[in-house]
Amino acid sequence: MGLLSNAALAVVKLVAGVAGNSYALVADAIESGADVLASLVVLGGLRLAARDADDDYPFGYGRAEPLAAATVSLMLLGAAFGIGWEAISEIRRPHQAPAPFTLGVLVGVVLLKQWLFRKQHAAGQASGSPAVQADAWHHLSDAVTSGAAFVGILVALVGGPGWEAADDWAALVAALVILANGVALLRPAVHDLMDRAPEANVRDRILDAARTVSDVQHLEKLKVRRVGAALFVDLHVQADPALSLHEAHIVSGRVKTAIRSAVPAAAGVLIHMEPFEPETA
């Protein structure tokens, strides 16, 4: 849905921007064109991440999601610099004011983009996919840039002669917004690629779940890393040294089940069983 809408909007905004003499609208069309490429990257990343683990990738292909999100972010940064550079050039170059009909085009774009953002953001949160969430923010940034273009064109039309550059200033503001969104989206993608630990509440839920298992006497050395929408957990569990190897294995299985029930995203849970030693616990 987002891919098709971005392709249609890019064409509509480009034609309206050229015909209506609005660089802000042309810049918005460029941003929508980048959105089309971004959506294709996200779609490819999701399809790759959905593959099952194999001998070559024993932890699965989930890294394709943050990699796609990082690619989308870099595309946003590139679009921001390109639009900003051209906007500055247009500000210094005298030109005609935009046509009034471009305002109607922008109103429709803002409404559609707000709706698409809400739909895709909800899907991204429900699935835990960083790539889908990054693409959702693409829609919101497009709505913001369209809103900025609307204000710039309105100022240029109301101000009359001498205010034609307001449209280009709006494009420059839009470029700054796109730049900020690109940086904001790049950081979590890089964090996931660097195996940064997830939020503290995720770690707390894992520990709380493990503590509910009888025979667990102490927990230590919890390590959690995110691979796409999945989590991989590594935890040391201390239990009674008198337990047999078979009994310790059963305890570890109960801990895994408890963690997976509390945190469904935990695709892999590795439990290291150790003897409980009060003096070191």
Q: How far apart are CA 106 and CA 102, in angstroms?
A: 6
The pTM of this model reads 0.65
Q: How far apart are CA 198 and CA 229, in angstroms?
A: 11
Task: Show the domains of the chain with their CATH numbers.
Answer: 2-193 (1.20.1510.10), 200-275 (3.30.70.1350)
**Per-residue confidence in pLDDT tens, the chain, 281 aa:** 777 887 888 888 888 888 887 777 777 787 777 778 777 887 888 888 888 888 888 878 878 888 888 888 888 888 788 878 877 887 777 667 777 888 888 888 888 888 888 888 888 778 767 667 777 777 777 787 788 778 888 888 888 777 777 877 877 887 887 788 788 878 888 888 887 878 888 899 999 999 999 889 999 999 998 887 788 999 999 999 999 999 999 999 999 999 999 998 888 899 999 999 876 55
Instruction: Supply the pLDDT for residue 212.
Output: 92
Instruction: Supply the pLDDT for residue 190.
Output: 86
Instruction: Supply the pLDDT for residue 130.
Output: 67
Name the CA dihedral angle for 268, 272, 276, 277, rounded to a multiple of 10 degrees.
-120
Residue pair 149/25 in contact (Cβ under 8 Å)? The answer is: yes
